[in-house]
Structure 1
Amino acid sequence: MARKKAAMSTAERLKKKKECEKRRRERLKKDPEKLKALQEKKHKIYLKAKVTGKVKLVADFNERQKRQKRKEWRQATKKYRNKKKEEEEMQAYLQENLQNVCDSERVNQEGNENIPCTSTYSERERVSTQKKKGRKQIRRNKTKSYRQIKKLEAVNSALMKKYHKYKKRYQRLLKGKEKTPTLTPNTKVKKNLRGRKVPDDVRRKLVFAEVITKELESKFDSIKKSEREKQIFTKVISGRILKKYRMLTHTKHFLPLKLHLANKRRSHELIYERQKKASIEFMKRKVSDFLEHEGNSTLCPGKKDVVSRNGKQQQKRYLNNTLKNLHAKFLQAENFRISYSSFCRYKPSWIVPRKVHERDTCLCAKHENMKLLVQKLHFLEIIKERNIDDFLKALTCEKTSEECLARRCPLCTNKHITFTEKEFDFDEQTNVKQWCHKKEKVLSNKTKQMITIQKTTKEEISCTVGELIQMLENRIVPFMEHILNIKHQLEVMRNLKTHLDDSQLVMHVDFSENYACKYASETQSVHFGASKEQITLHTGVMYTAGGIKESFCTLSKSLRHDPYAIAAHLTPILDKYLKQFPTVSRIHFLSDSPSTQYRNKTMYALISYYIPKTFLQIDSITWNYSEAGHGKGAPDGVGAVLKRTADRNVAEGIDISDIDTLVASLGEHISGVHVQVVLEESIKDVELVMEDVEIMSFPGSMKVHQLKWSRNSCKVHFRKLSCFICHTDICSHYHMGVLTTSTMTKDPVHLTDFKIGDWVLVTYDGKQYPGEIIGILQHAIEVTVMYPTIGRKYRWPVHKDQHTYGLSDIVKKIDSPTPSGSRAAFFVFKDLMSQMTLCVMFNLTILVHLNFYLFSNNYGKVN
């Protein structure tokens, strides 16, 4: 029976594996091709890890990680240099000993002398080893000492806190014991007259004065809770005679000084005087105006979001912060003081804090993601700030200005995140919730084809603590810019509304949620089916000089919310108010900033071409956009009032089945909102007018917050933020670019401009093709077209592509093509090539020739 091999220990197994790896590396070093292949494989793995983010560059580290990495580099460099130095010393020592050995052997051979060849290498090696062990022990001891010092410092700090706490407690205890006992009036007089001879009548008067003082103190203590009795009591005590003989200071032991000061402003009759109602109303109005500001509360757009008090209905507003924080903000903004209890008491009833069951569905994604990050880091005790407001205060001045948010303030531009003293591991795994956008492919119910849609979900992202901190640092500057845009747009538009003149008009517009028609009583098929008609509501508020405000709403059967529909909805409203205010020549529009509605190239063309052409009274237009996610305003309240009124009428038994019954119902019950119907044909008319207008895009539209058009320049000027200080078209603060509108209309096409043999650019199925005219008909032309290839070149198709095109399909007339290449199989049109395309083609040509050259050289070397 064969003997079993003894099982290897873990150390032996690791040692054997290490030796095998060493032999494998030696074999690889001898084979250059395998070594090169291995290095390329490692390099590819490194590049992949770099792309996926597993390997981070030093540039992506925060300051703390950079300092740690530099420290590791210094230690590694020092270790490498010491190792090199030791190797050089060892080589020099071996060479010296080798020379001595050779000399001694040569002497032995020549002189036949048996002189032993001694060497001190072993002794030197032993000394060097001892030195290394000693230095290692010293380093170990130093590290241990540093750790002990840190621990002792922490213990010492805790003990010092306890020492100061108990010391203060002891001092308070002593202070309480040292209080003098309450003395009777007789004892006080005896103590004051000790060692003095005073007549008895004088002594009796002194005792009487002490007794009266004692009586007044006891009376005041008994009426401290009654405001009425307290006021009358102070009127009795604080009079002109006490002031004349300078005895008011003797009442300070039982009567506060502020009551004396209050009595100076009151009459001296012994009656209770209430606080003036005017001051209370003033305080209520100030608190109400402050809380109704868009930065402190948000208007609810829903028709059910209403508060009723004493038969009066008000649209509900939700507080954006706690009442404690808003009270502190109010005290900083106003010159007078008000207590927290009075601030809460004067809060209007329709401004309420958010409740748990009230779901907010219009939050800003940037704010929510930043809030979740700050809350997570505070939970991990890495930062002290609990919310976004505290976080911004830590990075800016006490009164945050636009300079602070733009990181241009000299006082706070160098402020950074302050971490707590708690030690934490950068590589520790954690998770944070974030709102993420994802693209998914789904089957369309209409086309029955796969389409790509974008879904927003709240996901839990797994990352390290270091990555979480880096994520926060990367978002600070964009988030502060986001806050700056919000504050600037709100402040600028508020100042504009309060400083309007007779030539200006402001219109704040927005689409409300479509209204679904209802019956007072419905059958099951109507209630659950698709029989209900929906109506589009485009709401707004108009502001003019003198504080005049008017609300309006346009309704339409068309459910389109695109720019052409917006222009159709605005046309009757502008027609009404421009006739009502004939001196108005400048209009300022305010809206939110969705790219599918108000902020796109089609809307730019409508502002600069359609509106000025329709209304010759207008000389200047500005369109101002609120920051994305923060577009709630007065138009939402108008829509809520209209839909709530319509629903109340339905509940009272009125059927609202179409747009006509809705308009009739609103006109009967609402007089403060101008309601008008927009037909579907009006939207088509706008499209027809804009059919011959060349719509040009503007790069960077998502950053535009104001565009300005004037009839003098016929140009659209784009600005990063709204500005009404600069009266010129080009803003010196926020200018972004210009679009020229004088050449926006297309030149009309006529058949007389063409003949057989000309080349034209035609449109087919949404794409453009160049072709040669081979026939001219009565209202069309026959063209044979070319197909595009790579590099903006064109070729004739295998089978001739000949088709008849109408005048609307002809884009423009172009020059004849020039052959490209030796075989003339491809053609180039100079009219269809921009300078950028030529540069790209030139670069591609160079790359092709360079690749061909490298391939030829390598092929020659291989052969």
Structure 2
Amino acid sequence: MKQLQKALDRQKRLTEKYKKRVQRQKKSLESPRSKVKTTLLNCPVNARIRKTLLYHEALIADIKHKYRNARKEKDKQIISKVTIGKIVRKYKLQKFAEHTLGFSNKCWRHLESKNITAFERKAVNRHSDEFKSKVKSFFVRDDVSRITTGKKQTITVHKVKMQKRFLQDTMKNLHRKFLSENIGNISYSLFCRLRPFWVVHPSMSDRDTCQCKLHENLSFVADKLNQLKVVETSNVERLAEMVSCDSSSKACMYGECDLCKQKRVPLSSQYDGMAKASFLQWVTEVKALEKKDHMKKSSTVKITVKKTIEGTQETLTDLLHNNIHKFKKHLFNIKQQYAYNRELKKNLAIDEALIHIDFSENYVCKYASEIQAVHFGASHKQATLHTGVMYVGQQEPMCFTTISPSRYKGPPAIWKHLDPVLDHLQATHPQVSVLHFFSDGPCTQYKQKGNFMLFTTEIHKRGFKAGTWNFFESSHGKGAPDGVGGALKRAADRLVAKGHDIQDAQQLYEVLRQTNTSVELFFVESTDVDRAVEMMQSPIKAVPSSMRIHQVVTLAPGELICRDVSCFCSTKKDLNCTCFNTQHFSFGQNIPMPAQPADNQENPQPMEVEKLVHPDVGQWCILKYDDDLYPGIVLDTDETSVQVKCMHRVGPNRFFWPSRDDIHWYQFDEVIEMIPAPQHVTSRHVEVLKEVWARLSI
């Protein structure tokens, strides 16, 4: 009986509980009329007040019902904007409105919006601020966007003025590249929204006038084949990945991998080798100049033009397959040098300094107002600007520029421009003992034997323990120094527009100093440059294969370690590693000595002095074409290739001049070495020196 009584009591409590819930629910579901009756109970009022109160309750119920049943956030924002505003806030009815209408307190942030239909999305913070910062940093990388150097190429948003950067690929390709390099997922739309405002797509007026010839010519071929539906994509980087095992491996990208060095881009069923096709190419031609005086001899000039080439689909595919393997090496060098630059900055120690330098385009001095004779004559003087950015440890970088009236830009001038910069570095950061230089690779300035020799001597004279000089790939050396030059030229032009005369380099230096610019300015006298040129050692031993080198290291005076590309071991202070075909060269010995390898690494091959350096016009060379060797005469050179007039072959070590000149441009790695002039064996046939031929034909 006691147990039954307990169960009955428990059931009664539950019954009372649910009765109360039903009662409360009925009360909350009261109609507007019932609420008015309850409110006015025992309060006699006239009919007008009763009707006004009824209208109030009915309107509240209607708004609350619509707000609760709205499925879209946009509809809820419109309802809240219409029903509440500044007047409700004025009479301090915010809490009452939130309670009666069922709005959240977030609805008050839309009051300032004048457009009722404007929709504000809910902020969804799925990604941390650190991750978003990583995306923004990705956009300002030199391999993703290139900085502009023009004085007028700026963009201002919310009173923040920045130098423009132009994207170097489509947003979809960059989104794919970011996902492949980083852990984590980000939508394409968010990736686009996080692009900094100064990183923009180039327009026709912003066309690039410093494009890479190899990139452009291969892109023309890939675009045409993709248009003909012969290949699946026109993206040359993806085509390079198709013929490589691993795009991050030097062996694969340099054609040293047995598995992929013979790979070809897959062609679709639409391929018809005999079908006609025309495509564009940048070609270099020799043009005869018109003679103004019949007594003078005619002269020629080399010009580069974009030509339409007529051929077949077979011609296109052969061109693609021949160039895609050269492009793989070019692409690997680009990525490796940019990646090394980022990694070195990230791991830069307090006793290390990174100096990124470049010559800016000469500034043409000008007056605030000029007579016609000055404007159209040769009266304007020019000033040389050597710009750069210096990083010490993890401190804020320092922008600098040296200004000189001397227009010479060879190795002696380079080190005269660097002298005040290094003086400043040693005065402000005496703990620095290792220098890392970064620059592009023009063969008349930075990447040549004169600069290598000065590099191995000058820094040791100053007491630095070691140094590296790293070169970006040809036509891909744009960076922060270009922006420094553009900013200074823009500042100088503003001063001229305000009435200041800038007659020469000295005056340019003085007026820029008065602007309180954050760029450190130094002046280099032309007499100092001339004196350095006179004191330059001559002759200087040629550094073999200098055009393919992308990193040189010095650990002792006159000693040079060379690598095909920059090695990440250098970021960990291991400058004497044997990675990437490390070779050792000495300016003080007749025979270059190989670098000493580590115990757990293979011995590098000694560098041969006969290997190709930057050749002079008129020299004989041996080049490799379709696995055969051909002698020829060098006619012209540029930063990446050499123009050679080749002989034809009639047998082993027998060559002759064809009736029609065989003149083509070849990459430097296709030229084996420089040779003495071949010797005649008949009136028409010649042969390469037998000891040279025996060594090369093995």
Both proteins in one fold, TM over 0.5: yes
- The match for 1:635 is 481
CA deviations over 1:319-340 (Å, ceiling 9, x no partner): 1122233233334444444433
TM-aligned CA deviation for residue 609 of structure 1: 3.1
TM-aligned CA deviation for residue 675 of structure 1: 0.8
SS in 2 for 1:540: strand
- The match for 1:464 is 312
CA contact (8 A) 2:291 2:297 kept: yes
Higher relative contact order (CA 8 A, sep 6+): 2
Q: 1:845 to 1:581 in 2, by over 3 A?
A: same
Question: After superposition, where does 1:242-253 map in structure 2 within 5 Å?
Answer: none
Counterpart among 406, 424, 432 of residue 576 in structure 1: 424
TM-aligned CA deviation for residue 519 of structure 1: 1.5
- The match for 2:402 is 554
TM-aligned CA deviation for residue 283 of structure 1: 5.6
CA deviations over 1:69-104 (Å, ceiling 9, x no partner): xxxxxxxxxxxxxxxxxxxxxxxxxxxxxxxxxxxx
CA contact (8 A) 2:210 2:475 kept: yes
Q: 1:371 to 1:278 in 2, by over 3 A?
A: closer
**Residues in 2 aligned to 1:217 and 1:300: alpha-carbon distance in whole angstroms:** 57
Say yes or no: does 1:716 pair with 2:565.
no
Say yes or no: does 1:704 pair with 2:562.
no
State the AA in 2 paired with 1:564. P
Question: After superposition, where does 1:665-680 map in structure 2 within 5 Å?
Answer: 665-680=511-526
- The match for 2:277 is 430
Question: After superposition, where does 1:524-539 map in structure 2 within 5 Å?
Answer: 524-539=372-387
CA contact (8 A) 2:247 2:253 kept: no
TM-aligned CA deviation for residue 630 of structure 1: 0.1
CA contact (8 A) 1:590 1:624 kept: yes
CA contact (8 A) 2:70 2:76 kept: no
TM-aligned CA deviation for residue 647 of structure 1: 0.7
- The match for 1:106 is none
Identical positions, percent: 34
**Residues in 2 aligned to 1:343 and 1:411: alpha-carbon distance in whole angstroms:** 36
TM-aligned CA deviation for residue 455 of structure 1: 1.9
- The match for 2:269 is 421
- Matched positions, count: 508
**Residues in 2 aligned to 1:276 and 1:471: alpha-carbon distance in whole angstroms:** 50
**Residues in 2 aligned to 1:342 and 1:698: alpha-carbon distance in whole angstroms:** 49
CA deviations over 1:592-623 (Å, ceiling 9, x no partner): 0011111112212221234434x2x1221211
Counterpart among 322, 341, 346 of residue 498 in structure 1: 346
**Residues in 2 aligned to 1:605 and 1:598: alpha-carbon distance in whole angstroms:** 11
- The match for 2:438 is 590
Q: 1:840 to 1:540 in 2, by over 3 A?
A: closer
CA deviations over 1:398-427 (Å, ceiling 9, x no partner): 9866565346789977863121222x4322
Q: How large is the RMSD of aligned CA atoms in angstroms?
A: 4.0
State the AA in 1 paired with 2:547. M
Counterpart among 730, 734, 751 of residue 580 in structure 2: 734
TM-aligned CA deviation for residue 294 of structure 1: 1.5
Question: After superposition, where does 1:651-670 map in structure 2 within 5 Å?
Answer: 651-670=497-516
SS in 1 for 2:485: helix
CA contact (8 A) 1:427 1:465 kept: yes
CA deviations over 1:118-142 (Å, ceiling 9, x no partner): xxxxxxxxxxxxxxxxxxxxxxxxx
Which stretch shows the higher mean deviation, 533-542 or 277-286?
Answer: 277-286
Q: 1:602 to 1:227 in 2, by over 3 A?
A: farther
CA contact (8 A) 2:285 2:302 kept: yes
SS in 1 for 2:309: strand
- The match for 1:147 is none
State the AA in 1 paired with 2:173. N
**Residues in 2 aligned to 1:454 and 1:609: alpha-carbon distance in whole angstroms:** 37
CA contact (8 A) 2:287 2:302 kept: yes
TM-aligned CA deviation for residue 642 of structure 1: 0.2
CA deviations over 1:542-596 (Å, ceiling 9, x no partner): 1111233101101111111122211211112112212221122211111000111
CA contact (8 A) 1:624 1:707 kept: yes
TM-aligned CA deviation for residue 728 of structure 1: 6.5
Counterpart among 660, 667, 681 of residue 527 in structure 2: 681
- The match for 1:475 is 323
Counterpart among 210, 220, 224 of residue 376 in structure 1: 224
- The match for 1:621 is 467
CA deviations over 1:297-331 (Å, ceiling 9, x no partner): 11111111111122221110011122233233334
**Residues in 2 aligned to 1:398 and 1:725: alpha-carbon distance in whole angstroms:** 21
**Residues in 1 aligned to 2:522 and 2:246: alpha-carbon distance in whole angstroms:** 49
**Residues in 2 aligned to 1:847 and 1:608: alpha-carbon distance in whole angstroms:** 48
CA contact (8 A) 1:402 1:488 kept: no
State the AA in 2 paired with 1:624. N
Q: 1:393 to 1:743 in 2, by over 3 A?
A: closer
Question: After superposition, where does 1:369-408 map in structure 2 within 5 Å?
Answer: 369-396=217-244, 405-406=253-254
Counterpart among 494, 512, 536 of residue 690 in structure 1: 536
Counterpart among 566, 569, 574 of residue 725 in structure 1: 569
Q: 1:372 to 1:733 in 2, by over 3 A?
A: same
**Residues in 1 aligned to 2:399 and 2:412: alpha-carbon distance in whole angstroms:** 22
CA deviations over 1:436-495 (Å, ceiling 9, x no partner): 1223454899x9766554321111222222121111111111101100000000111111
**Residues in 2 aligned to 1:610 and 1:283: alpha-carbon distance in whole angstroms:** 43
Q: 1:408 to 1:663 in 2, by over 3 A?
A: same
State the AA in 1 paired with 2:227. F
SS in 1 for 2:389: strand
- The match for 2:495 is 649
State the AA in 1 paired with 2:457. Y
- The match for 1:518 is 366
State the AA in 2 paired with 1:439. V
TM-aligned CA deviation for residue 506 of structure 1: 1.0
CA contact (8 A) 1:288 1:348 kept: yes
Q: 1:694 to 1:227 in 2, by over 3 A?
A: farther
- The match for 1:93 is none
Counterpart among 275, 292, 298 of residue 146 in structure 2: 298
TM-aligned CA deviation for residue 505 of structure 1: 1.1
CA contact (8 A) 2:151 2:489 kept: yes
CA deviations over 1:625-653 (Å, ceiling 9, x no partner): 11000010010000000001111111122
SS in 1 for 2:569: coil
**Residues in 2 aligned to 1:368 and 1:408: alpha-carbon distance in whole angstroms:** 25
State the AA in 1 paired with 2:524. V
- The match for 1:87 is none
SS in 2 for 1:690: coil
State the AA in 1 paired with 2:526. E
**Residues in 2 aligned to 1:654 and 1:351: alpha-carbon distance in whole angstroms:** 33
- The match for 2:286 is 439
**Residues in 1 aligned to 2:429 and 2:298: alpha-carbon distance in whole angstroms:** 53
For structure 1, which runs of at least 5 residues remain unmatched after alignment?
Answer: 1-200, 233-267, 745-838, 852-863
SS in 1 for 2:470: strand
- The match for 2:214 is 366
**Residues in 1 aligned to 2:480 and 2:75: alpha-carbon distance in whole angstroms:** 43
**Residues in 1 aligned to 2:569 and 2:171: alpha-carbon distance in whole angstroms:** 35
State the AA in 1 paired with 2:470. N
TM-score (norm 2): 0.65
State the AA in 2 paired with 1:703. R
- The match for 2:662 is none
**Residues in 1 aligned to 2:133 and 2:396: alpha-carbon distance in whole angstroms:** 20
CA contact (8 A) 2:255 2:261 kept: yes
**Residues in 2 aligned to 1:370 and 1:296: alpha-carbon distance in whole angstroms:** 19
CA contact (8 A) 2:541 2:587 kept: no
State the AA in 1 paired with 2:197. S
The structure whose residues are more often helix, as a share, is: 1
CA contact (8 A) 1:228 1:272 kept: no
SS in 1 for 2:540: coil
**Residues in 2 aligned to 1:571 and 1:669: alpha-carbon distance in whole angstroms:** 24
Bigger Cα Rg: 1
State the AA in 1 paired with 2:381. E
CA deviations over 1:168-219 (Å, ceiling 9, x no partner): xxxxxxxxxxxxxxxxxxxxxxxxxxxxxxxxx99xx9xx99xx9xx99997
